[in-house]
Amino acid sequence: MKKTRRIAGTAAGLALFALVALPLAAQEDGGLRFNFGLSARVEAITNPGLSTPADPDTTRLTSRLSFGLTDSTRVGSIALSAAGSLSSDSDEDSPDGLIDPDFRLSLKRIGASSSVELAAFLRENDLDTLRGLVLDPVTGGVTEDVIGDGTQRSTGGTLTFDFGTDGPWGGSLTAGLTDTTYSGTTPEADTLRTNLGGSLRFALNPATEVTASLTWSRYDEAGATPRDTLRPELGIRRELPSGFALASAFAEDTEDGTRSGLSFGRNWALPDSALTLRLGLTRGVTGDLSPTAALDWQQDLPRGNLTASLRRDVTAGDGDAETTATTASLGLSQTLSPLGSVRFGLTASESEATTTAATTRSAAFSATYSHSLTQDWALDAGATHRIRQEDGLGNATSDTIFLELRRAVEWRP
């Protein structure tokens, strides 16, 4: 109950701040846009926590409501969104009531050749929904891989100042803070991550740009010594008739040692497809050299889209420890009729801790059919299969079948 009141209080504070700032932006042109979303989902899940030994099977009914407000003018913008779910679960140990609340606020002010943006967020997730393989849409890396049946709560924000936005040189200053806490039966420790950074860019000519950046971060885990990382990076990018080419070098000074790397990349922009390739080498904190690579491909089809991604990187993983992660994904979307479409997704990942050689492998396959009932209403049906293998814990599998009715509405006053 206390946690629910804290969430409601924080959400009310964000909403009040947005409502006070909103008229200032709205007076410019009144170009407001409201988005509303509503969904009802029923799903049957085996081993929802992807645990070993397996969790009890469950049937879950979830209703989710979302709201978004945006306004953009010549001198600034504001964006506010809120979402939350009401859940009922046949498993008595699973949380019922309000789950997975998500609040976000962004304010941006644009000046002459500069801008400043403030963003804040608060979100909670049932750990059952995070267990296994979740790929970051930007980096392709595993973003969530936690253990237990509790709740993860993250609050934080970022402040960004950009300057020289319309000139041959410029840069940015950033500051960020993320506080992550856990409740329930999870053994995960609370963490606080702080980031400070700055970057500069220089246009050597209309087609070539050089960038330099310096980032400092601190990872503070409850009951452990804080871990600081300092990362300078230098890069160059050249625009080409069919895409662009780039190169970058970095060094990271961490508590475990120094990690450094060099990479080269090339992008090809074709009429119906796009391909980006990056190859490099990274020297880990142990002194060993590891190859790194990234391949992203997107192909437009007559009635759909095909995407593929393959990545291998040496990064700071769970607990800020160095991890070698290899991820692959394949996606296909296809329109079957004016009202129906289908989506398939396949992902796989292998993560190995550099210092302990502990390895975790995950994979997931999903298939979803979507049918438009009206202009606003749609019906989805699908299934997901997940597998996981972790040293010392054995294998785990989980299957989900679901049916979801959803509605999305956009309104301009």
Q: What single-letter DSSP state applies at residue 357?
A: -
Q: Provide the pLDDT for residue 66.
A: 96
Q: pLDDT (tens digit, 9 = 90+) per residue, 360-371?
A: 899 999 999 999
Q: With cut-offs at 50, 70 and 90, classify the pLDDT of residue 284.
A: confident
Q: Which helix (H) or strand (E) holds 29?
A: helix 2-29
Q: What is the pLDDT of residue 94?
A: 62
Q: Are 188 and 204 spatial neighbours (Cβ–Cβ below 8 Å)?
A: no
The string of pLDDT tens digits covering residues 189-217 is 788 999 999 999 999 999 999 999 999 99
- 105 to each of 79, 152, 323, how far by Cα in Å? 6, 20, 32
For 242-283, what is each residue's pLDDT tens digit?
999 999 999 998 888 888 999 999 999 988 999 999 999 999
H or E element at residue 8: helix 2-29
Which of the four pLDDT bands, split at 50, 70 and 90, describes residue 141?
A: very low
Least Cα distance to 393 among 151, 131, 182, 191 occurs for 131
pLDDT at residue 166 tops 70: yes
Q: How many domains in the chain?
A: 1
Q: Which domain holds residue 183?
A: 2-411
Task: Provide the Cα torsion 174, 118, 188, 385; round to 10°.
Answer: -100
Token pair listed for 234: 């230098």
Rounded Cα distance between 290 and 322, Å, is 12
Q: What is the pLDDT of residue 142?
A: 42
Residue 12 has what pLDDT? 41
Mean pLDDT within 116-124:
95
Can you tell me which residue has the tokens 């699908």?
382
What CATH number is attached to the domain comprising 39?
2.40.160
Question: How many Å apart are CA 150 and CA 132, to the nearest integer?
Answer: 15
Please answer whether residues 63 and 39 qualify as being in contact, where contact means their C-beta atoms are separated by less than 8 angstroms.
yes
